[in-house]
Chains A and B, each alone.
Chain A
Amino acid sequence: MARGENNTGAHGSGNVPPPATAASTAAGTAAASGKQQARGAGAEGQSVVRRLQSELMALMMGGDPGVSAFPEGDNIFSWVGTIAGSAATAYEGTSYRLSLAFPGEYPYKPPKVRFETPCFHPNVDAHGNICLDILQDKWSSAYDVRTILLSIQSLLGEPNNDSPLNTQAAALWPNQDEFRKMVEKLYKPTA
């Protein structure tokens, strides 16, 4: 694989979010959730609700190892998902929490997915945004929550270093031992 650009030392600690940032993120999440709540209650999106309920049922009965998801609170349009790091990867033994916000046009348009647990990965930025093609122009209405989570789980072990959101992680990827240490260092599970 092609090596990423060399990073200057000044960026070394740039990806560790300070406590204030974490607090801001939490506040932002709460605000977004509130907005979703208001819109969701008024929309009466029966089609989307029906679809999401069907997906929830499939997830609960499917039993895919390492991934799970559930609506957050009473808002069917806002979910929380969890992904366990796959075995034999730098993320083995970790568990990441993600947020999924579904638009009114779902499944014609993809949900917005973000890591809430800080994740050191070439394709995840400091705010948890994920660069993944099926969440953008490769989206299809045949995809669902399950396939999204499985794809992200795979992404953890197979990043695209040519298109990094975290250049430090991309540069470090070839050195898996050092990469693992950084993952563990930055891993702070959300309670």
Chain B
Amino acid sequence: MESSEMAVIEYVVAELRDEAAGAGAHVAALAALCDVLAVAADHLFDALPIAEFVARLPRLLASGEGDVPLFAARAIAEVCEGVRPWATSFARYGAIEALRDKLLAIDCIELAEECLRALGVISMECPKECLSHGVPAAVLQFFDFFSMHKQKLVLKIVANVLGDFSAKDAAKAMEAAPVLCNLLQSTDKTILDSAVSCLVLVSDGACDSAQHMEKLYELNAVQATMRLMENDGWKSLSDETLSGILGLLKDLASLSARAVKSLFELNICDLLKQMITYYTSSHSDHNKVQTLVELIYYLMPPLEMCDHRTELIIAKKNVITEQSGYIQQLASILTFIIQVAKSAALSSICYSCVVVIRNIVELSTPSSLVEVQKTVNLSSLLAGWLARKNRHIIFQTLNVSKTLLRKDQKFFFETFIREGLKHAIDAILTQEKGKSRLPESCLCFDLDLETSTDDACRINNGAILKLAEEIKKNFLVKVAKSPHKFGCAFKSIKEFFSRLNCHATAPPAKDQDLCKQLSDFSRQLLSDELPSTSTFEFVQSGSIKHLAGYLSNGTYFNSNLRNCQDLIGELKEVKIRLQKFTHLALSVDNESSVKPLEILVEKLIDALHVWYDSFPVILADEQCTRESTMIPLRDSGTEEPMSLYIKFSRSAREEELEDYGGVLPVDLSSTPESIEEVLLPEICKRTGNETSYKENTQEANGSRKSVGLRNGDGHKFSRLKFSYKGTQLQSSTPLFESILRSMHEGETDLQIDPSFWDKEHKIVYRRRNKSKKISSHSSYNIQLCRVHEKLEMSLLKDPFFSTILTGKLPGDLDESDPSYNFLFMLKVLEGLNRFSYHLSMDDKLCKFAEGCLQEFDDLKVAICPIPRDQFVSSLLTNKLEQQMQDSLFGDGLIPSWCIYLVETCPFLLSFEARWKYFCLTAHHSFMTDEASSSTETKKYSVTRSKILEDASSMLNKHGSDTKFIEVEFDGEVGTGRGPTFEFYTTVSHELQRVGLGMWRGDDTSQECEAGFVHAPFGLFPQPWSSANTSSQGISLSNVVQKFKLLGHLVARAVLDGRVLDIPLSKAFYKIMLEQDLDIYDIPSFDPKLGKTVMEFQALVKRKKFLEERASNPAADLSYKNVRLEDLCLDFTLPGNPEYELVPGGSEKMVTLDNLEEYVSSIVDATLKSGISNQIEAFKAGINKVFALKTLRLFSEDEMERILCGEQDSWASNKLEDHINFDYGYDANSASVISFLEILREFGREDQRAFLHFTTGAPQLPLGGLASLDPKLTVVRKQCDGKVDNELPSVNTCRHFFKLPPYSSKEIMRQKLKYAIKEDDIESYNARDHQNKPE
């Protein structure tokens, strides 16, 4: 074969050399050559006499007769496809010109297609030559005549050629524009995407030329692309295509005034507003946002004049000024830009936004600017931006301020004072004098097309100072009014807190009057004055520190006030203050529906955002950041983690330590604490210091005891101090981060230079001096730990309470950092909000004990917490998201502020961001849905009839394996997603079966349906006495095994992204999150038991109170007019008579004297000792897969969402199958249709509230709505008055929902929401119940 092929090659060469041979002979030879090449093996190409073909084939193509060009083209294509580098050789011999000419001649479609094949390869190897010879226009000339497949090849050739070209070739590139613009109307998605891509390449290369941009405009590029995007069409475009279109429009707008006009006529601003909203909230995409902001910038003429752009600037101004509607369009988008700037995680985006804001402000009318100020409070944001470290942002912000004052000096002068803008400018004037300039990445040219690396930064040393002085001199000379404003706020704050402190120390007898007085005053302050106070005034008034000082009983101001002698007394005092403030902050005035706590939290988060620079984002390099749109996945087997090279050297003044003398490679996550353990053995002087070393070791051992403290600082006693360039390093901040911050002291985004990894960084160490403070602190923490063991209220053990008690945030956060105060207060308020029920109920019990409350029925909590998402900071969430997109995040590049926020203040971050953080940090191998198809899976087979045993065995074997679990059922067809999903669902169902002894309610057979435990308020473990290891045929060891299986199942479900169908109670989720429970948690899963136990506890407290006052204890210590003894209770667990709370409990009757013991025994059995074996097994099951503590960053509601997913069934069309409609309604009634729509639109919390309102319980039986018995029935409510004023009501006996026939769906929604929400605090009597007869 091979020899015969070579024979053919020789024949071809001989024929081609023969000039005298006719066209026929050449055709025959070329045909033979093509046949051989088409099936040639790779090694044959090595033997080709390529020189002969390179020289002759292009000539034959160009001037051959008959079919010679066809076969010549085909031969060229075959050769080039075989050995790509030969394309270059062909190009040198005129192949490109010949191919182009044949395409333009379009003599024969087959020939043209062969030319395309050849150019398909040549264009990849020689794009520049192809462009200079006009290939793009040539291949596009007869685009419509080609087949679909060839059309795509054409576009591929164009993309290859246009991939990179210089300005001098722009004219050639523009030749392709007409056809490409026409293709924007194509209905084929692939062609459309390719056309957009090519067009973007054209504009990218030609965007320096106004002439070319005008040409593109004349080709209707604007109209065509805008048509693609209208009516939400932009959402269906591919991401790359949409980005391309936006880039194209940006280029057009930058240089073509007519394009700008056309865009305005097509309502570009409306479209941009939609996109900004879309990409800043639900579909976060920083790169898109940046592009959108730039596009808006180019719609306007730049403010700074450039000599060679004068005509364009004038033309743009004319476009905008000739139509007032265009200015209005820009003005309407101003609030959107402001929102982007407000939550931007990167300085570059923030800078672009400020520049755009400046331009729009310049074009806006004074009245519209006043409106913007009232809507989004621009002045407050400007004040925040002036506090940034980025000089570029400061400079542009000053420009905006100057323009605002010029537009309406009177109005903005006042807002500048109120919002602290004047104060910020004064601060700049003070700081800028004598301030040396620090290196900073220049942002001046981010928005300018004419970029030159050599251009100097426009903000020279004196620019900011000069501008600030100008503003002050020209606009801010009036200072007479300002003291009055501040004085007003200060006075209110001082008065409020002085009354608050009086309130805290008032004796109970006077409490009533004082409480009323304080309540009225606080209502005025928190509800009326606080909302109208600016963030600046709020901060300047010192209210945060005063509030922190009040709540901490003074320790916030002076930690030395901690009194180790009376720690329990201190605890009580702080608790009392929390209770009083809780009542004030969460009570709702009748005139307003906003709680004071909501306003306070909003102010604090706004204030926190001012300190943007406390949370720097670390960027590796820009390309990685821009490319990554997915969660980066790290395969530890294929990559070496990045290391930092640090040279440790001894301080010059240090004499007792050795010099290290070497360079140490350090992990990104290494901290001074961890490094110390490595260095210490090397640098301790052994000669003459052996004894001293031993003593130090013993001391270290002693200090290690404090590691176990839950609420300590969390770091060991450190013996070394490290510093970098003279700055001491924080012991818990990674070395990598500290060095980076020091190198970029003047910047807010820490950009990593590639040389950072090669350079040696010098760090100096020396011994740390011992101090009494540390010793005292350790002693305090040890004592606190001991006291914790005696406390019954879980509230008092929570980290937030320790924070307020010690007046200090956990960890070694820098207290001088401006953000510290706000983080402290937010943490305290979030804890107060979370424990509001506990605090309030405990307060009620105390009031009952003291006689302030007389009836047991008064033991009700009248307040409810504000939604948890009120505490979320969009700015910090965006910063964390941005950081997680960086490629080094997976290598351990996690700034300390990220770790700190996630661990200490997770409530500040959105659930989505924390979930992503959890995936990236806890499970490096966690896969998103998109990537799951490429992961490895492990298959298991289970038998349906013994699924629990098989599941237990399977999960024990699988353990913490990172592979996905895939399950199939024995004897059944099917594998993969479906059976695996069913497996998780089935096992979670089986674990709820009656008779397993796992859950409360298991032994109440009457309430069980279809053999499963029904827990209306969620499943919670059934207590098992340690005295009994078996009961009614069930053994405790079997129960424990089931809980271990459940733990395993939960962990695998989280890891593999599976959904469980098991309604666990909130209290059980709290256990999962390792939070403590107490008596106040019992009502959440067993309301009847909880209510009675709470009432007994109230009786216990009252008895104690009376005894302390030596009153007659027998007077009024009955339980609802019944003597306690007459209740005939003994010391066994209610509902579980085998469980003796104390030895011999079944014979011991409950009396007034032992009621306290009885209550605490029930609480212990229900929440602690009775379920400890089960809980330990459950936690062990989880820990076998991943560390349970990694789940602490979530709340119990979020855990439920992770495990059980969203309830999709309500969104289906089957909702009406499970609901009856009667007494005036049927399935087609207008009211019913609206009602069902509203139910489907409800979120999880609203659904739960609706169920609680309708059935008395937030959980449905297994099987969902279909299992409700009797069936939910919606009936028409008879209304005597105006229908729209009525509220829905229910009959929980029959699951009747009485729905008034409201006049509109929106009114129905409002009334429905009001009714189901008010039900939570039991103040609304919407439930139709029989009143107790007299």
Interface presence of A80 (CB below 8 A) = no
Residues 60-74 of A at the B interface (beta carbon under 8 Å) = none
Residues of B within 8 Å of A42, CB to CB, are 1032
CB–CB B1134/A5 < 8 A: no
- Is A154 an interface residue, CB under 8 A from the partner? yes
A105-B1089, A112-B1006 are known contacts. Are A165 and B1293 too (CB-CB below 8 A)? yes
Residue of B nearest to A46 (CB): B1146
B1119 touches A142 (CB 8 A): yes
The B-contacting residues of A in range 133-177, CB under 8 angstroms, are: 133-134, 136-142, 150-151, 154-155, 158-160, 162-165, 167
CB < 8 Å neighbour of B1120 from A105, A140, A167: A140
- The residue on B at minimum CB distance from A142 is B1120
A47-B1146, A163-B1291 known; A133+B1332 contact, CB < 8 A: yes
Q: Mark A101-132, 1 if CB is under 8 A from B, else 0.
A: 10111011100100000000001010001011
- Among B1006, B1089, B1122, B1130, point to the contact of A47 (Cβ < 8 A): B1130
Q: Return the CB mask of B1301-1334 against A: 1 if under 8 Å, else 0.
A: 0000000000000000000000000001111111
Instruction: Give the contact-size bracket for chain B.
Output: 35 or more
Tell yes or no: A20 within 8 A of B by CB.
Answer: no
Chain A neighbourhood of B1289, CB < 8 A: 162
CB–CB B1292/A108 < 8 A: no
Q: Which residues does chain A contribute within 8 Å of B1032, judged by CB atoms?
A: 42
When A47-B1137, A101-B1006 are in contact, do A123 and B1092 touch as well, CB less than 8 Å?
no
| Contact call B1330/A155, Cβ cutoff below 8 A | yes
Expressed in whole angstroms, the Cα–Cα distance for A13 and B1146 within the complex equals 52
A29 to B1275, CA, bound (A): 32
A43 contacts partner chain B, Cβ-Cβ < 8 Å: yes
Question: What is the predominant secondary structure among interface residues of chain A facing chain B?
Answer: loop
Asked if A160 and B1329 make an inter-chain contact with CB atoms under 8 angstroms apart, the answer reads yes
Query: Are B1294 and A151 in contact, with the CB atoms below 8 A?
Result: no
A188 proximal to B (CB < 8 A) = no
Q: What is the distance, in angstroms, from B1285's C-beta to the closest C-beta of chain A? A: 15
Min CB gap B1086→A, angstroms: 9
Q: Render B1266-1285 as a binary contact track against A, CB cut-off 8 A, 1 for contact.
A: 00000000011010100000
Query: Whose C-beta in chain A lies nearest to the C-beta of B1278?
Result: A5
B1223 interface hit (Cβ, 8 Å): yes
A64 to chain B, nearest CB (A): 14
Q: Which residue of B lies closest to A133 (CB)?
A: B1329
Interface residue? A39 (CB, 8 A): yes
The winner among B1092, B1294, B1330, B1334 for most chain A CB atoms within 10 A is B1330
Q: Which residues of B contact A129 (CB under 8 A)?
A: 1293
A88 at interface by CB-CB < 8 Å: no
CA distance A105 to B1138 in the complex (A): 12
Complexed CA–CA distance, A73 and B1275 (Å): 43
Q: Is B1224 an interface residue (CB 8 A)?
A: yes
- Most-contacted residue by chain B among A39, A142, A150, A155 (CB, 10 A): A142
Q: In the complex, which residue of chain B has the Cβ closest to the Cβ of A45?
A: B1137
Contact A163 B1146 (CB under 8 A): no
Chain B residues positioned under 8 Å from A131 (CB to CB): 1291, 1293-1294, 1329-1330
Interface pair B1137/A138, CB less than 8 Å apart: no
Residues of A within 8 A of B1129 (CB): 47, 51, 107
| A142 lies within 8 A of B1127 (CB) | yes
Given contacts A46-B1132, A112-B1006, A160-B1329, contact A107 B1137 (CB under 8 A): no
Q: How far is the CB of A61 from chain B (nearest CB, A)?
A: 13
Docked Cα-Cα span, A129 to B1330, in Å, equals 14
Q: How far is the CA of A54 from the CA of B1130 in the complex (A)?
A: 13
Cβ–Cβ contact B1006 & A154, under 8 A: no
Structural contact, B1294 and A165, CB atoms closer than 8 A: yes
Contacts of B1134 in A (CB 8 A): 47, 105, 108
Question: In the assembled complex, which residues on chain B have CB atoms less than 8 Å from the CB atom of A140?
Answer: 856, 1091-1092, 1095, 1120
| Given A151-B1333, A160-B1328, also A47-B1121 (CB < 8 A) | no
CA distance A142 to B1087 in the complex (A): 16
Evaluate contact between B1278 and A51: CB separation under 8 angstroms.
Answer: no
A15-40 contact mask (Cβ, 8 Å, vs B): 1 or 0: 00000000000000000000100010
Q: Which residues does chain B contribute within 8 Å of A107, judged by CB atoms?
A: 1127, 1129
B1135 close to A (CB within 8 Å): yes
Answer yes or no: B1005 CB below 8 A from chain A CBs. Answer: yes
Contacts of B1003 in A (CB 8 A): 104
In the complex, what distance in Å separates the CA atom of A108 from the CA atom of B1158?
A: 14
| Nearest-Cβ distance from residue A49 to partner chain B, whole angstroms | 9
Bound-state CA distance A121–B685 (Å) is: 96
Docked Cα-Cα span, A22 to B509, in Å, equals: 63
Q: Which residue of chain B lies nearest to A38 when distances are taken between CB atoms in the complex?
A: B1005
Chain B, Cβ-Cβ closest to A104: B1135
Nearest CB of A to B1109, in Å: 26
Specify which chain B residues have a CB less than 8 angstroms from the CB of A43 in the assembled complex.
1137
Q: Given the complex of chains A and B, what is the CA–CA distance between A43 and B1031 in angstroms?
A: 10
Q: Judge whether B1333 and A155 touch: CB under 8 Å.
A: yes
Whether the Cβ atoms of A133 and B1331 lie closer than 8 Å is: yes
- Near A by CB (< 8 A), chain B positions 1085-1121 give 1087-1089, 1091-1092, 1095, 1119-1121
- In the complex, besides A47-B1134, A51-B1128, A158-B1333, 14 extra interface pairs with C-beta distance below 8 angstroms are A5-B1223, A5-B1275, A50-B1128, A104-B1003, A104-B1004, A104-B1136, A105-B1134, A105-B1135, A133-B1332, A137-B1329, A138-B1329, A154-B1333, A155-B1330, A160-B1331
**Chain B contacts to A: CB under 8 angstroms:** 856, 1003-1006, 1032, 1087-1089, 1091-1092, 1095, 1119-1122, 1126-1130, 1132, 1134-1138, 1146, 1223-1224, 1256, 1275-1276, 1278, 1280, 1289, 1291-1294, 1296, 1328-1334
24 A-B pairs with CB atoms under 8 Å apart are: A5-B1223, A5-B1278, A39-B1005, A44-B1137, A45-B1137, A46-B1130, A54-B1126, A54-B1128, A104-B1003, A104-B1135, A104-B1137, A107-B1127, A109-B1088, A131-B1330, A132-B1330, A133-B1330, A133-B1331, A136-B1293, A140-B1095, A140-B1120, A141-B1127, A142-B1121, A154-B1334, A163-B1296
Chain A positions within 8 Å of B, measured between CB atoms, are 2-5, 35, 39, 42-48, 50-51, 53-54, 101, 103-105, 107-109, 112, 123, 125, 129, 131-134, 136-142, 150-151, 154-155, 158-160, 162-165, 167
